[in-house]
Amino acid sequence: MNTADLEPSIRPASEHDRAERAAAGGGEPTLAFTGRVPYDAYVHASTLHTLQRPVSDDPGEMSFLVMSQVMELYFGLVRHELREGQRLLREDDVWGALPSLRRAALHLEGLNAGWRGLRWMTPTDFNRFRDMLGEGSGFQSAMYRHLEFLLGLKTASLVRPFRRQPEVHAELTSALEAPSIWDDVIALLARKGHDIPADLLSRDVSQEHQQHPGVEAAWVEIYADTGPGNHLRMLGEALTDVAERFGDWRYQHLTSVRRAMGAKAGTGGSNGLQWLQRSMAREVFPELWSARTYM
């Protein structure tokens, strides 16, 4: 990073600089700054705390709104980690990709914890402000769609809601038409000598990947090698953690909807519970699961 791009309040400091400041202040924290507080300059906390704009007077709505915003941030964070892992896998750097993928799984745990902050919400609680949301729904989260597409859950029609937001629509269309991380993993297996059919490597990646016995067989072969240097096996486990934690999020979403509104129609026009149940049937990284039957 170019330090010239940093805000003036954020001044890089060495260990020596910090030790000098601590000594000069007798170990007390610095309380005087010439400009903006450096923490706020970095985190933008003062901006974050202006983004909660409830549409009702119900005090519970703030909890619903903040948890939704926190989840949005986590969607973006998990996407960031997966894209970094994907970049390294394209360079055949399996070992280098593992930290990003493991962080992604941990961030999904943080994302899942958000549902616990909404356990208080009964149908009566939700109904106090639900009507004020109009057609607003988590179904319309562009960043969640980015995450789904990156994980290989491709549905072209889900780009349509954003057609009047040209920049968002273009980014989602690009994500739909780009290889998912699973597509890149399959290509990696082929480069590593596994027998992956050519038509699978040249398929239309804007379409959802369908479980293939050739990919399944590759994972059976990979897992048969239990040596400590088998990076592909480590990759399989890191990706399994991601898929499992993402599945946990979808299940907890379903449970939270059932708890707050039962089987009512969704705010965004879907049939709510039934839509989520169908969505859960689509597996992330399917051969990593099916191959275990033959290991």
Distance (Å, rounded) from C-alpha 272 to C-alpha 278? 10
Distance (Å, rounded) from C-alpha 200 to C-alpha 211? 11
How close are the terminal C-alpha atoms of the chain, in Å? 45
Residue pair 200/212 in contact (Cβ under 8 Å)? The answer is yes
Cα–Cα distance list, 279 to 20, 110, 155, 264, 283 (Å): 57, 22, 11, 17, 9
Distance (Å, rounded) from C-alpha 74 to C-alpha 80? 10
Q: Does 233 count as an annotated binding residue?
A: no
- 229-247-79 Cα angle (round to 5): 70
Q: Does 267 count as an annotated binding residue?
A: yes
Q: Torsion angle, CA of 125/60/77/203, rounded to 10 degrees?
A: 30
Tokens 């992956």 -> residue: 196
Q: Does 103 count as an annotated binding residue?
A: no
Residue pair 173/205 in contact (Cβ under 8 Å)? The answer is no
Considering only CA atoms, which of 243, 159, 152, 239 is closest in space to residue 203?
Answer: 152
Binding-site annotation, residues for heme? 253
Binding-site annotation, residues? 130, 253, 267
Binding-site annotation, residues for substrate? 130, 267
